[in-house]
Amino acid sequence: MAQHSNYWTCSKFADWLRGTPKPNSETSDGWRLWTKTAKTAHPVRYWLADDGLGYLQDFVTWPVRKIYDVKYYVNNRWVTRTHTLTAHSRDIKPGTWCDVGNRFLPCLFNELVDFVEVELAWWHIVWESSEFAKKYNAPFWSKGWFRWRTWRCKQAGLDNLDWQRSLRWQEEEVAEGSENLGKLTPQAEKAQEILDLYTWWTVTRPARPDPIEVSGWSAYCDRRRAADPEDWIFSDNKEDTGPMLDQMHQLEAKYEQEDEEMMIRLIRVRHGLWT
């Protein structure tokens, strides 16, 4: 059956037709038990509510779904370009050359920023009332039929991560006596990792001291060129540059290792990047 924004099989009418109300949420064992109970109690009514209504909804909504298909193709192909990985112009300026190996880090983390500030921001308001959306000044095209996945709201995305990070196993989600009761769910743990990576890219990394400045190499070169604009710096041994260059290279190597480690962490949490 096709995907829908809401399903007739989960409506109050379906519950009445089936004769057995469908739970809002259940564990895997709970759903299996409910399905067995509902089928046994009213097998024909169960089929009408869970299969018949599904087929009917697919038939009735076919024209609208085709319009949606066209709309989302245009959106995915030309607006949000979900078939590509892109870098922000502040990281790779358009029109400049950048080797493939140097594109990975900014492209991946720019996509992470979009995921938090666009995708999670949308998720945070889509199931809530219009009054809730006003809290973030969400425009009419931020959700619903008119959504083009271009609305960006950093605060809404971060608030969504805060909600996810608080998720803990509830009694109805675990077996009786399970040690997982009350502990953070895997979704919460992934949300924490996503927040840590987002914060590193947007706050921590941009604030890292420049190795050229910290080592004193930049100031040294400025002094040499101020005295002689034609100075090639390395033409003689006017000053001992070894310690400065060593410090600069050590810090550059440290940053490179950190970048690589954070990129690996992002790859490992990729299955948590969904809405």
Residue 66 in tokens: 């085709």
Distance CA 264, CA 262 (A): 5
What tens digit of pLDDT does each residue of 156-188 get?
Answer: 999 999 999 999 999 888 888 889 999 999 999
pLDDT digits (tens, 9 = 90+) for 98-121: 999 999 999 999 999 999 999 999
| Structural element, H or E, at residue 158 | helix 154-165
Locate 200 and state its tokens: 């590193």
Length of the chain: 275
* Residue 218 φ/ψ, nearest 5 degrees: -65, -45
For residue 78, what pLDDT is reported? Answer: 79
Which phi-psi region, left, alpha or beta, contains residue 175 (left: φ > 0; alpha: ψ -120 to 50)? beta
Residue 75 tokens, joined: 């959106």
Give the residue from 190, 188, 170 showing the smallest Cα distance to 178.
Answer: 170
- The domain ranges of the chain are 208-264
CB atoms within 10 A of CB 217: 19
Query: CB of 50 within 8 A of CB of 3?
Result: no
- Tell me which residues of the chain have a pLDDT lower than 50: none
Token readout for 36 is 């067995």
Q: What is the pTM of this model?
A: 0.81
Instruction: Write down the pLDDT at residue 12.
Output: 93
Residue 5: Cβ within 10 Å count: 9
Cβ–Cβ under 8 Å, residues 107 and 90: no
CA-CA distance, 275 to 273, in Å (whole number)? 7
HSE (side-chain half, CA atoms, 13 Å) at 74: 8
Torsion, Cα of 16, 18, 20, 23 (10° steps): -90
Asked whether 107 and 81 are in contact (CB, 8 A), the reply is no
Q: How many Cα atoms are found within 13 Å in the side-chain-facing hemisphere of 275?
A: 19
Dist CA 77 CA 64 (whole Å) = 20
